[in-house]
Every structure is written in C-alpha cells, then in structure tokens.
Amino acid sequence: MSVEEKPLIVISGSNSGIGLAMTREMLDRRHAVLGLVQDAERDPVQHPDYRQEQVDMSDPESLQTRIAEILRGIDGPVRALVNNAGIGRMGFLEQLSVSDLQVVMNTNFLSHAIVTRAFLPLLKRQGYGDIVFTGSESALSGTRQGSVYCASKFAM
C-alpha cells in the first residue's frame, strides 16, 4: 500500500508527549501522519509515512498563513484532524505576564479553532473525516497555580 493510499491523520503537537504516542499508534495502524509541530528540529519519529511541518501555534496570524500553505500541499483525503498541541505556563495569575496569558490561550485554544476552521472546507468536500480535541482533566478540576492552563483547556 503506498502512502497516497493510506488514510492521512493530521496531528498537532505530534513530536512529543500525547501527540507522539498518538503518532506512533497511527503509524502502527498503517496510517500516514502529518505532524504540525512547534519545533521541526525535534523529529523522534523517523518513519516513511510521517512528515512534519513547523507551525507557531501561539501566533494566530502566522498560523493561518502557514496552515493555508500546508493545505495546498495535501493531495489526498484527510481521515482525521487531531488538535492536540498544548503548552503549560504554571504560576499564580498575578505572577504571569500578559504575554504568558496570550501564549497559553493562543496555543491551547485559539490555534485549534484556527486549524479546524481551515480544515473544515476540505473535510466537508470529501464528505467525511473526524475532528478530535485533546482536552485535560484540569479543565474541570483546576489547580492552584494552573488557572490560565485550566481556563485554556476549559475553553477548548
């Protein structure tokens, strides 16, 4: 089976943590994976059915532009979009800068809305495709020094 015939799974944050585990699982299940990553230098996967594209999930303007470029390069159907990328900036709210707040909210919430919005026309045209969001228990339980992280996960 060639890569073109394999179902394509798009996973943000595919080169670390939960995203890396999902990437490996999808490759084991004979899917092709397109990873959307913050740091393209880190590529722990090294698999012929995996490629990664660098995106800045914390910068909405550049993310929109970059995702449009990536979409133009996708020539087959997308089986699933997995919105998984995330970042934690822990500390009491008064200790975090406005920049910290923006980075966490942009990465953990707004970026997923931007990416999903960009992929929706493709998924609608092809008539199928799943959209998955990786949440966190913190969205419901909260933590003392994780208010911004918890809020970003609740927003998602």
Q: How many CB atoms lie within 10 A of CB 88?
A: 17
From residue 71, give the alpha-carbon distance in Å to each of 36, 75, 78, 121, 154: 12, 8, 10, 10, 28
DSSP class per residue in 109-149: IIHHHHHHHHHHHHHHHHT--EEEE---THHHH--TT-HHH
Q: Which residues are catalytic?
A: 149
Tokens representing 133 are: 């969001």
78: CB partners within 8 A, 6+ apart: 8, 9, 10, 119, 122, 123, 126, 129
